Every structure is written in C-alpha cells, then in structure tokens.
Amino acid sequence: MSLCIGENLKKLFSLENKVVLLTGAAGGIGSVLAEGFASVGAEVALCDVNVERMDAVTQRILDNSGKASSHYLNVMEMKSIKECVQSVLDQYGRIDVLVNCAGINVREGFLDVEESTYDRIMNINLKGMYFISQEVAKHMWQNKKGNIINIASHNSVGMLGGCSVYGASKSGVAALTRSMAVEWAQYGIRANALAPGHILTDLTTVTWENPKRSSYLKERIAMERPGNPEELLGMAIMLASDSSSYMTGSMIHIDGGCLAGGTPWPYDTKY
C-alpha cells in the first residue's frame, strides 16, 4: 500500500505535537493561523507585542481544548527576541516550526517617507524577522530539524503606490527565505514564504473601506474580492506539516488571481 493514502495521508498534514512559534499572533492573519494550527494538534506559542489581544486569542484556543501559550515579543528589540525564544524553549523544550507573521505598513509616498518611518517598517518586517529566525535556527540546528514559514506579500513582487518601504521589506522577506533555504538545508531546516494578496484585516481596512481604492483593487483581482485570513490557513498548514517535506526556498501566492491580472473593462462574450 502506498505510504500516501488513508491514515498516512492524515498524518502527513497533521501538526500533532509540533511546537509552533508564531509571531504577530494577535493580528488578523496571525490569530487565524494560531487557532487553525491548534485545531490540527499543534502546540502554539503565540508571540506578539500586543499582549491583551494575544492573551484573548490564547484563551480562545484553550477554551476549545487546544494547546497554546502567550509570550511577549517586540521584534524591534534584540533583548526581547532572545527572551521570547528562551521563554518558548523553557516551556516546550524545542521549536519545530517558526512562523514569521509580525508586520506593519505605513502608506506614504516615496517623497514623504521620513527616516523614522523607514526604520520602523524595516526593523519590524525585515530586521526583526531576520534575527528571530537566526535565534530560532540556532536551536533547530541542534535538533537537525526545523521548518520556517515567512509571511511575505503580494508586494514582494507587485507594487502599489505609497508602499515603497513595505514593498522593499517584503521583497527582502522573499530574498531572505531563499537564503535560509540555501544555507540551512544542510541542518535539516526548511524555509518557505507565503505571499498573501489583499486580505481583509485591520492592516487593510483603510483600503477596503475607501470606495475608490477598493474598486481599483477589485478590478485587478481576477476573483474581484479581498481574501479572508481563513483562506490562507490550508496552505499554511501544508507548509508547516510534513506534507511539504521536499519544499524549501519557495514562495506561494494566495491572491485570488491578483498576480495573474484582472479585467478593468467589460468585454463581449456570447456567455
């Protein structure tokens, strides 16, 4: 019998007993990933700077008989990164999967961006992700096993006006994913990126509530709608599980066909 059918297939996609350190766990996408991972058996270490919202997500998971804990993390501070990773290791003894989801955006024209804004976006989206990955990979290296998922963006590839720094940071996330894959395969560590398109969360409400911006976007998304965070979950579970064991250095777009292109004007069809 093939190793890839029936119960074996279920095991392949299971996160049973996998310890997942998830940054940005209090956010729109992070909270859905946390609850989804826990629902397929993971022990989820939620890490975020927003303790109140993080604790609420942790409590929801525990109330649903899942396994979860909260750990304060400010990815802008090296001390906080080290303390957070140590606190997860103290609790679980290992980290099987790291998901880098913490991120921010500030929409400003290229000519308007001040150094402080540039530094803040880069420090959270890129530098923070770099150093927490380094810290976690040092432990994964000892186990000769590990798995990293970086949340990139449509803006890793396609740009929008007013998102120059964000786009640069997310292009950096795509590049670092490839570097991690290349350098760390020898230690049994995989790294892939998940690039969401336009997803409805607090980060993007400002865009979707603006009629002009939202109709502009819908015209450029083949499916003509934003995605929901839940629509990222299946692929995230696949990347976190052993079902993707031969994948590393890849970036998967989940964007309703945004990169594929949209239809800004009607065309004749007999159907």
| Backbone angles phi and psi of 27, in degrees to 5 | -85, 180
Q: Is residue 198 a contact point for ligand NAD (CB under 6 A)?
A: yes
Q: Is residue 153 a contact point for ligand NAD (CB under 6 A)?
A: yes
Taking each helix axis as running N to C, give the angle between helix 115-122 and helix 164-184, from 0 to 180 degrees, rounded to the nearest 10: 30
Bridge-partner residues for 250, per DSSP?
none
Active-site annotation holder among 92, 118, 130, 166: 166
Neighbouring CB atoms inside 10 A of 8's CB total 11
If binding means CB under 6 A, how many residues of this protein chain bind ligand NAD?
29
Decide: 56 and 35 in contact? Cβ < 8 Å.
no
Q: Is residue 168 a contact point for ligand NAD (CB under 6 A)?
A: no
Decide: 120 and 168 in contact? Cβ < 8 Å.
no
User: Among candidates 95, 46, 91, which has minimal Cα distance to 70?
Assistant: 46
Q: Which of 12, 40, 76, 157 binds ligand NAD (CB under 6 A)?
A: 76
Active site (annotated) includes residue 166: yes
Q: Which of 39, 69, 74, 228 binds ligand NAD (CB under 6 A)?
A: 74
**215/79 Cα distance (integer angstroms):** 43
Q: Is residue 50 a contact point for ligand NAD (CB under 6 A)?
A: yes
Q: Which of 36, 66, 103, 146 binds ligand NAD (CB under 6 A)?
A: 103
Binding positions for ligand NAD, rule: CB under 6 A: 23-24, 26-30, 48-50, 73-76, 101-104, 124, 151, 153-154, 196, 198-199, 201-204
Q: Enumerate the active-site residues.
A: 166
